[in-house]
Structure 1
């Protein structure tokens, strides 16, 4: 059980950094009605026991085990301040929370992680507490509460963490900033970590962090830097030769190629990532990669829209059966809505756009703006102008809470064009102005 290794590592840290172990020994000894000399005899000296109890000596693991036997208490209690039974309960609760998150039951996962954090027995178990807080941040992110996830991650980042955990925390923080359109902060946290790790050899977590940073470059329109960085990541992944690094590097190279107009190159990179993911990836990761690949095919090859639409219908069903988050499912329904629109099935397009939008947190999310824009176009195309205007007008409600970015500029511009088609000249002018403001003009 993964919790067993945590107990031993946590024990080593606590024994060498805290006076609590000595205090626990002293408390249990007194409860048992023993003197220091009685506890020590015959293996130890009473002076050595006195030094341990006062925190002036750090007992070895062997001495701790001996004292636990003499005191008739668990070694877990002396090390961590909890009994073996309490430790087992904590590990079991954390395991259930992690399983809920893995299975896509993100609301339940968030509740379980939050409940575990109020357990007083967790206070002295630093590694388990950090694991729980990281899980809660991931659950909040999956639920769409990015501000809460960021708050937890910022606090966690200030603590002493193992190197791999620090990389993971930084990656999720960078991703949450990016998805919140706080792109300057996303770049800052990513660059700070990677520049500090410049002399370390590439690892899968570092490649994935670098890929997240690269996506932040793309979101803010720094495509030259993104293209240079994509080439660096491909070289790193080829040197590592691991599935995780190959998927991350090729996927980001695909995104950069797509944004710079190299559509066939983008599909080539994406198909390589998909092939490796199919052989090695978790079903959730396979589903996400497949969705993104189909998205690129739909944009790059409009003539294949019917084929891609049929594949997207299967992908939506795959998402429903796989442990994907509500945000992931919203993306899948939105992409299918676009495909249905392109192939002329407007009723299906509306159906999936509404499902996707309703899966999102209320306002403050790009996908919600895109869903309403698509609904406006669909209704406008069949002459239902009033409904079209209502949906297009609500794009403002979804975009306004978000920081200015390249992506929001694109949506504002598309909204302005749609408003012109709906004869809303004043609204179009305002939307064009917002688009220009987003790019600093």
Structure 2
């Protein structure tokens, strides 16, 4: 405020005007008083700046530029440009005095130093970050700094420190009930290496028996966060909640990609042998990322591709395994799709009677599903398969059901046209 006032050649009395006293202005400039938001706004108007500039020393637009710069540095680090990231983080630290942004940039700087192999400097940075976290444990977790230090001390050969810090982090994570996730995996990895380097094989083997299980990473982090919150460890609770969000987001991205792969495979299955081989690769990659009906639908599409490729025994085995894993007491759209693919595979094997047995059971079960476009599509496919098996009566009935499912009352001519089409 003083710098701006002098730049504008204003006295303290001129800045105070009729609303404030020049002595109050003097107290503010000497750091002995903090103006209220209303006074801050008034002073900013007279000095021709924003209240944010007076309170933080940087304009909002400049702050936004610095925040974007920080994110670009993080992207550079992830992309392997540690040197560029380090330079950028230094610029961010020099340009901004916002504590949160500065802390974020300091973390990035420490990580960049580690990536560049300047491990001693990285250790110094991470140790300062650990001290900050331990002084403010109510808001900040020491876990990430200790995990990073465990890795760095191992890298420089200080096995005693690596083991001590690693065991501390491992004890805290497991004490919160964490059984999965990148934090536990990294601590366990470095501890294993440190134990082996020290010749402590029994401890290493014991740790191997308790390897992380990444079946529900997001849920595991969330439960650990809840436990930390119950303990009053807010810093750990916040950190673990952020890790839960990141894990859930990563899972969401993987699922979205897998869904796209399944959709792409469905388009390719209609093509030639090369297309079907590509479809099978996409479906194989997608299946582990999916669950429930989506995973089952993925397997069904794999069976369709196998049929097109002439690998009929594999197709039949694939669908039968899928059907055996479904609850027997309930019949739904996914089960109907599986049964229709099984019938198609039987027909391709010249197993007409086996196909008809499956088709007739499916027809009876489809009657119990609500009429909509999806069941219309299934009835249409059912009719095509009955027709291919030489059962014209059931084919016609299936086509009629398809028309009725979309709200049409079929005439004989409409049904015949549908069959011919």
TM bin (shorter chain): 0.3 to 0.5
| Higher RCO, Cα 8 Å, sep 6+ | 1
TM-score by length of 2: 0.42
Structure ID, larger Rg: 2
